[in-house]
Chains A and B, each alone.
Chain A
Amino acid sequence: MNPAAGSNQPAVTYLNHETTVASWLLTRDHKRIGVMFLVGVIFALLLGGIFAMALRIELLTPGPTVMGPMTYNRMFTLHGVTMVWLFMIPAIPSAFGNFVLPIMLGAKDVAFPRLNLASFYIYLAGSMLTVFGMLWSGADTGWTFYTPYSTVSPTTVTPILLGVFIIGFSTIITGLNFITTVHTLRAPGMHWTRIPLFVWTIYGTSVIQVVATPVLGMVLLLVTAERVLGMGIFDPSRGGDPVLFQHMFWFYSHPAVYIMVLPAMGVITEVVCAYSRKNIFGYKMVAASTFGIAFVGFFTWGHHMFVSGQSTFGSGIFGVLSMLVAIFTAIKIFNWVATLYGGSIDLKVPLLYVLGFIFLLMFGGMTGVAVATTSLDVHWHDTYFVVAHFHYIMVGAVLMAFLAGLHYWWPKMFGKLYPERWSFLAAMTIIFGFIVTFLPQFLLGNMGMPRRYYEYPREMQWLHVLSTAGASLLAFGFGLIAIYLLWSLRYGEEAPMNAWGSRGYEWYSGSPPVPHNFTEAPRFEREVHDYTVVEGPRVY
């Protein structure tokens, strides 16, 4: 490979070999599709963040502050729908998965490149329909679309239901594509026991996506049919059963929390190895626990239904089975800590996010076990305690992992370095802002603050004000990241081929990679993340 003058980067990269708009929009290159997904999900994050700030501002005072109750209902629905369906589910698999998974396997692309592009446009179409529904007048059902309310609500639920239904297809297609890629496109030497752990988590996630998402599609379509045709599947006055909706919804949506968190765990594993300069402790256990989580995650959905009229027998079974998830999660946590232990730690920004991740995941996971205890959940259900529980995991853990991945792979994706001091400041702001935002919400929930209410008693105000203050810090941190990352694209220092001295397989290709990832077929002769050798991976 011939580097450009005065630079060690490849002269022709996936970014500069074609630069027309059409070459992006019609590309079949997994890297460009990954970048387009990245732009899409970050836009969704921005949108969801604006709605979140509106909610927090409304909750500054016990009474009405800046909006009426109906607007508030719409606002939390918009926030939840955008964050869950448009950002969180596609974020890591579709953006980073697309970009690095084929490179990590030594492949030129994914198994079905055209389908991959289709997946992006399906995501775009579904998102546009959803956003259209929101702008038209917005739904007020929350992201969970519970019946019977969602079938009779006078707001525009139907386009949003259909939008999410369409996004589901994007998820399924991406999942199928990754599964096939892992099975068929591994380079010579890439045995099953050498597959990078990020790839294992994406593989596990893909299986969940393929198995569970059709059930979500079905139930959303049934709600639409009930709204439009009055079918009566969930309507008790016609022999239907509203709890059936919750069964089908959570059969997807509990595993979906693992669609969010497993890829995050994959990113964490890569980052932990890279900055402690050690091979992962217990490779096989970490890979296997991924499938333990994915499998057990399918047996716990009823823990969302303890107060829905579900049978006591059902609640008991689901409560006990929910506890099993903790075992496999603990395996991962112990292995990350054991990897860090005695490593030569290089405290770069991605590792800072990882430390935040481990702490917040434990907090979120332990409160998960607490709310999975039926007797406790009767008290906490539908309060801010649950809101705090899932934000600890979805924001505290998954979003931190997303940011860790973004900072870890930024030089890989764009060949630029970002200013380290600013990134440290932003990371500290975000971790601190997160704790200030969500810790008070546990207390609020325990005091009895219901979720999805826009009013509350005066005694709770100081905790709400604290939470809003934290949210402002979070917003400030995100703004900072946006500024210095965009700045680095233009003015940032050029990144070396392997900015972190990582032994991850994705660093076998250039930074940024050449159009088909490698100039000659890579051979994987060493174990994944082998830090016993001195030099970094050879660039092909």
Chain B
Amino acid sequence: MTEEKKKSAWGYVVVWGVLAVLTVATWVLGTKIKLGVFSLPVALGIAVVKTVLVAMFFMHLVEQRGARRVVLPVSAVFLCLLLGVTLLEAMTRIRMARPDGIEEELEPKRPASTRTAPPGSGAKRLMGN
């Protein structure tokens, strides 16, 4: 314990700096630079890197031994499974019947309370097809 106390706090500051840079990067890449189809993977990738940094350094996972070491990789595997398979499914869906080229604005506006979907509009934003 005493030895750990002596360790300087600079490591944490550096990690914090990296996190701050990544946060700015998310914002810049999301608003200033149009990445198109890559925007989702890039945003998720940055988020994952940030999560790993927080878990490893601020939550002290790097210092752990034995069974506790597998916690992070196992969580990562299951997270990838959830996101990966869900996205794979969404990307392989048959396109809804909706004439091409019609912008959302051209469709009749509906009061929010009815909450019915114009055909295919949800699919468009989530799946990019």
Complex partner residue of A311 from B81, B90, B121, CB under 8 angstroms: B90
Please, how many angstroms separate the alpha-carbon atoms of A243 and B92 in the complex? 13
Residues of A within 8 Å of B88, CB to CB, are 313-314
Please, how many angstroms separate the alpha-carbon atoms of A500 and B112 in the complex? 66
B40 to chain A, nearest CB (A): 13
Q: Is A455 an interface residue (CB 8 A)?
A: no
Q: Is A309 an interface residue (CB 8 A)?
A: yes
Please, how many angstroms separate the alpha-carbon atoms of A309 and B95 in the complex? 10
Number of A-B contacts (CB under 8 A): 74
- Evaluate whether A235 and B89 lie within 8 angstroms (CB atoms) in the complex, with A211-B75, A241-B122, A241-B126 already known: no
Please, how many angstroms separate the alpha-carbon atoms of A242 and B112 in the complex? 16
- Evaluate whether A311 and B115 lie within 8 angstroms (CB atoms) in the complex, with A244-B86, A248-B82 already known: no
Complex partner residue of B89 from A239, A299, A311, CB under 8 angstroms: A311
Q: Is the CB of B92 within 8 A of A311?
A: yes
Residues of B within 8 Å of A144, CB to CB, are none
Q: Is B78 an interface residue (CB 8 A)?
A: yes
Q: Is A310 an interface residue (CB 8 A)?
A: yes
Q: Is A251 an interface residue (CB 8 A)?
A: yes
Please, how many angstroms separate the alpha-carbon atoms of A298 and B81 in the complex? 9
B68 to chain A, nearest CB (A): 9
Residues of A within 8 Å of B106, CB to CB, are none
Q: Is B125 an interface residue (CB 8 A)?
A: yes
Residues of A within 8 Å of B121, CB to CB, are 236-237, 239
Q: Is the CB of B126 within 8 A of A298?
A: no
B116 to chain A, nearest CB (A): 6
Q: Is B118 an interface residue (CB 8 A)?
A: yes
Q: Is B32 an interface residue (CB 8 A)?
A: no
- Evaluate whether A240 and B78 lie within 8 angstroms (CB atoms) in the complex, with A313-B92, A314-B88 already known: no
Please, how many angstroms separate the alpha-carbon atoms of A313 and B86 in the complex? 12
Range of interface residues on B (Cβ < 8 Å): 20 to 34
A137 to chain B, nearest CB (A): 21
In the complex, the chain B residue whose C-beta lies closest to that of A148 is B115
- Evaluate whether A240 and B82 lie within 8 angstroms (CB atoms) in the complex, with A183-B67, A314-B88 already known: no
Per DSSP, are chain B's interface residues mostly helix, strand or loop, or mixed?
helix
Residues of A within 8 Å of B110, CB to CB, are 237
B96 to chain A, nearest CB (A): 9
Complex partner residue of A309 from B93, B115, B118, B124, CB under 8 angstroms: B93
Residues of B within 8 Å of A310, CB to CB, are 89, 93
Q: Is B123 an interface residue (CB 8 A)?
A: yes
Q: Is A215 an interface residue (CB 8 A)?
A: yes
- Evaluate whether A251 and B82 lie within 8 angstroms (CB atoms) in the complex, with A239-B121, A244-B126 already known: yes
Residues of A190-222 at the interface with B, using a CB-CB cut-off of 8 Å, are: 211-212, 215
Please, how many angstroms separate the alpha-carbon atoms of A132 and B118 in the complex? 37
Q: Is B102 an interface residue (CB 8 A)?
A: no
Please, how many angstroms separate the alpha-carbon atoms of A311 and B91 in the complex? 8
Q: Is A470 an interface residue (CB 8 A)?
A: no
Please, how many angstroms separate the alpha-carbon atoms of A251 and B78 in the complex? 10
In the complex, the chain B residue whose C-beta lies closest to that of A218 is B82
- Evaluate whether A311 and B116 lie within 8 angstroms (CB atoms) in the complex, with A211-B75, A240-B126 already known: no
Please, how many angstroms separate the alpha-carbon atoms of A183 and B118 in the complex? 54
A205 to chain B, nearest CB (A): 16
Please, how many angstroms separate the alpha-carbon atoms of A239 and B74 in the complex? 32
Please, how many angstroms separate the alpha-carbon atoms of A240 and B118 in the complex? 12
- Given A237-B116, A302-B89, A311-B91, 4 extra CB contacts under 8 A: A236-B117, A236-B123, A237-B115, A239-B124
Name B residues whose Cβ lies closer than 8 Å to a Cβ of A.
67, 74-75, 78, 81-82, 85-86, 88-94, 110, 112, 115-118, 121-127
